[in-house]
Structure 1
Amino acid sequence: MSYMTQMEAARKGIFTKEMEIVLKEESISKKDLMEKMAQGKIVIPANKNHKSLSPKGIGEGLKTKINVNLGVSEDCCDQELELEKVMNSIKLGADAIMDLSTFGDTRGFRRKLADMSPAALGTVPMYDAVAKYGKDIASMTVEDLFKVVEEHCEDGMDFLTIHAGLNLTCVERLQKNNRLTKIVSRGGSILYEWMIKNNKENPFYEHYDRLLDICRKYDVTLSLGDGLRPGSLKDATDAPQIQELIILGELTKAAWEKDVQVMIEGPGHVPLNEIATNMQLEKKLCHGAPFYVLGPIVTDIAPGYDHITSAIGGAIAASNGADFLCYVTPAEHLRLPTAEDVKEGIIASKIAAHVGDIAKGIKGAIDWDHAMSEARGTLNWQKMFDLCIDREKAIEYRRSVIESSKGEACTMCGDLCPIKRCNEIA
């Protein structure tokens, strides 16, 4: 076929094999899918070089998707452990995996992921630039940075987080507005340092057309990063964050002119009462582009439990239009997550996404809940286990007390189980 990207195909009325796969998993019509892809309101991250991909749609009218972050660092460099996390994430139903590796053979690791992962793959090339060229950030050239971007596209990454909106105007806003946590985005802070030390514009902003040409060549979805996302409740929805969001909206329209698919990344730490406003601002300022949020985390005081704080925020965000949730694990702010941390984060994020889908009225979402309620209403334990979002944990809890249970009910109510009594009366 002559088309270059999924967006261009939709605009030309070409129904791709990726669209066909997405359509089978969603309740949207073929017409709506193609129209919203043509408008930029739905994306299908699908790099032409990612041969093992089972594509997913992200955007308006589709089920809320979840992403898993992982990768090695200089302090914890065990690629085999990270590959184990990848496999577990796929089994648990992650829709996408972001490799945030900053040390070692990062390219070899990316290529392994592309060979094995049916989930969409994302990276932040700026991280890899530091790993590739060393820690002297200011000495990296524009050519250095774009070489890394092209390598990630060649390696089959389906979406790239690029903090192209963190330009000199945003830097000025940041310097005029005192923040508690300044910049908490790794990619954003690296670019900020590069800009300040070199006294130059963000290279990804200044040479944005070059970036778009690379993304178009491989049909890589551009995930416009939120370099100034709030890292504390006090900094939420402040001038630097909104200034960057305005720039991201302008960059979105420029990408669409070249048929490049775009997602917008969002906060971050946000008070519960500001989440809906943040969702509305993004949809308005970024013209309905899919919104990809980290959490949001709704309180700053719960290290060790941030999978819960983010699930609360994620459910509210999804119900108000967020399309893609980045999981947060119990290890957030504390350490590289273990395999168990990853599982806890995925389950929490999947719960939030499902809650959001029910609230958004995604067709069929609540049917799962109705089936579980029907099984509970008949004390059909096997069916309940089969319907659980974490089947293994539910079975483990039930089996841990099965010998002390005197009947069909759980050990909380025992013979006073209201469902059991009502069934016997009926």
Structure 2
Amino acid sequence: MYTTQMDAAKKGIITKEMEIVAKKEGKTPEEIRSLVEKGRVIIPANKNHKSLDPEGIGEGLRTKINVNLGISKDCCNFEMELEKAKKAVSLKAEAIMDLSSYGKTREFRRKLVETIPSMIGTVPVYDAVGFYDKDLKEITSKEFLDVVRKHAQDGVDFMTIHAGINKETAKKFKQNKRLTNIVSRGGSLIFAWMELTGNENPFYQYYDELLDILAEYDVTISLGDALRPGSINDATDPSQVAELIVLGELTKRAWEKNVQVMIEGPGHMAINEIAANVVLEKRLCHGAPFYVLGPIVTDIAPGYDHITSAIGGAVAAANGADFLCYVTPAEHLRLPDINDMKEGIIAAKIAAHAADIAKGVKGAREWDYKMSEARQKLDWEGMFKLAIDGEKARKYRESSIPEDKDTCTMCGKMCAVKNTNKVLKSEEVSII
């Protein structure tokens, strides 16, 4: 018998989840088992998530993406968020993170676990504030851990836990002035609780008890970066790096209890710093999978941050990041609607695939080869079927039909592809 995927891997057991991941990734089950044993690949799979279609995250695997959604006090449309989750699955998002902080949070969470085959993640500290319905400073350490247990019981596959901001790293933050201070919602709540109560971060102080809960249900811990930069000005500063060092120490402690780990990384960062940050995380956190929000590579584009994050995500993943959290055009502005969500997913999927080509992930280039083959043949239906968003591609095509229907209205009879094909077949070419 085994308690978690990592426990099984250490005992030489290949689980059904490892077999599924191996088939998806074109690897042998033994290769996956070995990587899980080393902590370089994770398979977030809560024992109570019966509808789960398992995915692997980590070294040598396809770059996966995560979609954030959930109900809040200002936007508490339960059915709309559920509809967004179903749409995210149809767009092949591998993970959905429920950030609900108001209302029927447990009912919504359980509905997701019951119906959604993607990995489900949560941030228990968000839920704690709404669940207990009392001032932040009045919540006890035990109550924070009780919420973690409820999420685990409900079938959540991974949880963001901000355990790296302790009294020491908080002191480092206060000593090193930032332009944008703390922008992590969970990090700011823990920091505020520590400052208001004078107590140590409960997730750090009672880390062993926390790990025992996660191990019982095989929940992967996503070690949150409470001190991630909220502007390119604050990237790779002493606060961020000090917390990362603590996360590396917490990673080893989790592995000792057979809890799978991934590390959350920066949100805002100039392009030229991204590769070094990936190397730093992999070194300090012993090769644990790296999960990044973007990174957003410039701060000037509200309304277009799905693009700024896709640029950063492609660079990060090409250099070894394993998991991209999508960013939508609504980032920094409002809760995204279903169209914003789609734009964010497509942008993140493009970034992930571009990185997989650069990383040499098995089968990544084959998709592009087939698309180029369809283009060479001017096979429009083939192109639509292969497109990452075939619906939008078809809509654009059909909105402007050329006289020569083999071509498009960009080039018409001057179509380079069609004319070169004709020349190579010794056929006449007419562009008049």
TM-score per shorter chain, which class? over 0.9
Q: What is the letter of the counterpart of residue 5 of structure 1? A: T
Relative distance call for 1:328 and 1:96 in structure 2 (3 A) is: same
Task: Tell whether 2:379 aligns with 1:413.
Answer: no
Distance 2:232 2:76 in 1: 32
SS in 1 for 2:328: coil
CA offsets, 1:325-362, max 9 Å, x none?
Answer: 00000000000000000000000000000011000010
Offset of residue 135 of structure 1: 5.0
Q: What is the letter of the counterpart of residue 238 of structure 1? A: D
Q: What is the letter of the counterpart of residue 8 of structure 1? A: D
Give the aligned partner of residue 284 of structure 1.
283
Distance 2:288 2:327 in 1: 23
Give the aligned partner of residue 302 of structure 1.
301
Distance 1:200 1:99 in 2: 28
Q: What is the letter of the counterpart of residue 365 of structure 2? A: I
Q: What is the letter of the counterpart of residue 328 of structure 2? A: T
Q: What does residue range 337-352 of structure 1 map to in structure 2 within 5 Å? A: 337-352=336-351
Give the aligned partner of residue 75 of structure 1.
74
CA contact (8 A) 1:28 1:62 kept: no
Give the aligned partner of residue 94 of structure 1.
93
Distance 2:165 2:28 in 1: 37
Q: What is the letter of the counterpart of residue 211 of structure 1? A: L
Q: What is the letter of the counterpart of residue 212 of structure 2? A: D
CA contact (8 A) 1:97 1:121 kept: yes
Give the aligned partner of residue 256 of structure 1.
255
Q: What does residue range 158-307 of structure 1 map to in structure 2 within 5 Å? A: 158-307=157-306
Q: TM-score, normalised by structure 1?
A: 0.99
CA contact (8 A) 2:14 2:30 kept: no
Distance 2:36 2:286 in 1: 13
CA contact (8 A) 1:379 1:420 kept: yes
Q: TM-score, normalised by structure 2?
A: 0.97
Distance 1:204 1:47 in 2: 20
Q: What is the letter of the counterpart of residue 224 of structure 1? A: L
Give the aligned partner of residue 38 of structure 1.
37
Give the aligned partner of residue 122 of structure 1.
121
- Structure 1 spans left out of the alignment, 5+ residues: none
How many residue pairs match? The answer is 424
Q: What is the letter of the counterpart of residue 157 of structure 1? A: V
Give the aligned partner of residue 394 of structure 2.
395
Q: What does residue range 130-141 of structure 1 map to in structure 2 within 5 Å? A: 130-134=129-133, 136-141=135-140
CA contact (8 A) 1:407 1:415 kept: no
Give the aligned partner of residue 154 of structure 1.
153
Distance 2:155 2:405 in 1: 54
SS in 2 for 1:287: coil
Offset of residue 29 of structure 1: 2.8
Q: What is the letter of the counterpart of residue 343 of structure 2? A: E
Q: What is the letter of the counterpart of residue 217 of structure 2? A: Y
SS in 2 for 1:222: strand
SS in 2 for 1:366: helix
Give the aligned partner of residue 28 of structure 1.
27
Distance 1:284 1:306 in 2: 29
CA contact (8 A) 1:103 1:131 kept: yes
CA offsets, 1:87-136, max 9 Å, x none?
Answer: 00000000000000111010000000011000000000000001111251
Give the aligned partner of residue 427 of structure 2.
none
CA contact (8 A) 2:165 2:187 kept: yes
Offset of residue 143 of structure 1: 1.2
Distance 1:200 1:300 in 2: 34
CA offsets, 1:200-258, max 9 Å, x none?
Answer: 11010000000000000000000000000000000000000000000000000000001
CA offsets, 1:266-313, max 9 Å, x none?
Answer: 011000000001100000000000000000000000000000000000
Q: What is the letter of the counterpart of residue 222 of structure 1? A: I
Quick one: which of 409, 419, 422 aligns to 2:420?
422
Runs of 4+ more than 3 Å apart:
none
Give the aligned partner of residue 428 of structure 2.
none
CA contact (8 A) 1:183 1:189 kept: yes
Offset of residue 27 of structure 1: 2.4
SS in 2 for 1:299: coil
- Pairwise CA RMSD of aligned residues? 0.7
SS in 1 for 2:53: coil
Task: Tell whether 2:15 aligns with 1:5.
Answer: no
- Structure 2 spans left out of the alignment, 5+ residues: 425-432
CA contact (8 A) 2:21 2:32 kept: no
